[in-house]
Amino acid sequence: MKKWIDGARPRTLPAAIAPVLVGTSLIATTDLAFQWLNAVLALSVSLLLQIGVNYANDYSDGVRGTDEVRVGPVRLTASGLAKPQAVKNAAYLMFFLAAVFGGLLALRTSLILIFVGAIAIVAAWGYTGTSKPYGYMGFGELSVFIFFGVVATMGSYFAQSEIISGRAFLVSIPMGALSCAILSINNLRDRPKDALVGKRTVAVRLGDLRARALFVTLLAFAHLASAVALFISPWTLLTLLLLPLTLSIAKSVLKGAVGVELIPLLGKTGRLQMLFALLLSLAFII
């Protein structure tokens, strides 16, 4: 069981929790009633999709041989800890469960969520799982921004209000930027290996220096978007309390941390996103 928990990459799960937390908490700035069941369903869908894409990437990268030399966490398929078909089935199971919970949420709100959920599942598998995976062509960050930023945040707000809101879109931007930052630093860590196996991530395409600059830009963009959201609540400026952590991470990346040195910075970036989500949610509740 431990290998399957490790294979689900639990350290990535805050990226699935944070946008749901922000989108759900935004309902506190309205006169609408809070829907606990809808919140639980939205969170379940986000978590299951994150775990599903982790297993799918494990399987697809493993059978392609692009995970044979890894700096980061162990992979089930490439390491031989699990058979490829078993990992593939685990991904399918997570996507199926996400579809079930998403279907229940759609029945409680709007059937349009079934369409959105179907696109999300296709995108999750297509990241590395097709003959021409878009994750290998440098579109990973864009996909993450859309699905673990805009869709997850706005979808969670929609699950509470059944309203497509510009305010929800605005607060989805820091969540999307920080989700992109997590992927960006992950790809920066794997850049040398990815270049050798033909994996043309954004980090590979940009090169080392510009990939680092992109990462720092994403962190700055998250702070900027949160500051703009002060018209929703002036308390969103609480996110400025995170500037010391942001600057610490940015400084380490700009100074040239590589390989295993980037692993703790990846963890700190994940914590930064979660802290952003908690402070934004607090701002909305206040």
pLDDT given at position 69:
57
Report the alpha-carbon distance of residue 217 to residue 77 in Å, rounded. 34
pLDDT given at position 57:
86
pLDDT in tens, the chain (286 residues): 778 887 778 888 889 999 999 999 999 999 999 999 999 999 999 999 999 999 988 888 778 776 655 555 667 887 778 888 998 999 999 999 999 999 999 999 999 999 999 999 999 888 887 778 888 888 888 999 999 999 999 999 999 999 999 999 999 999 999 999 999 998 999 888 888 877 889 999 999 999 999 999 999 999 999 999 999 999 999 999 999 999 999 999 999 888 888 889 998 999 999 999 999 999 999 8
**Could you tell me where the DSSP H helices lie in the chain?**
2-7, 14-25, 36-64, 76-79, 84-108, 112-126, 140-145, 152-161, 166-196, 202-206, 208-228, 243-254, 262-285
pLDDT given at position 132:
82
Report the alpha-carbon distance of residue 156 to residue 25 in Å, rounded. 9
Helix (H, G, I), strand (E, B) or coil at 142: helix
286: which 2 tokens?
A: 């206040």
99: which 2 tokens?
A: 């579809």
Report the alpha-carbon distance of residue 280 to residue 55 in Å, rounded. 30
Report the alpha-carbon distance of residue 19 to residue 13 in Å, rounded. 11
8: which 2 tokens?
A: 């689900």
Identify which of 176, 184, 208 has the alpha carbon closest to the alpha carbon of residue 135.
184
Residue type, 154: M
pLDDT given at position 70:
58
pLDDT given at position 43:
97
pLDDT tens digits along 82-141: 888 998 999 999 999 999 999 999 999 999 999 999 999 999 888 887 778 888 888 888
pLDDT given at position 197:
78
Considering the entire predicted model, what is its pTM? Answer: 0.92
Q: Which residues contact 229 (CB under 8 A, 6 or more apart)?
A: 167, 170, 171, 174, 236, 280
Q: How far is CA 204 from the centre of its chain?
A: 20
Per-residue DSSP letter, 51: H
Identify which of 241, 244, 257, 169 has the alpha carbon closest to the alpha carbon of residue 208.
257
Domains defined along the chain, listed by start? 2-285 (1.10.600)
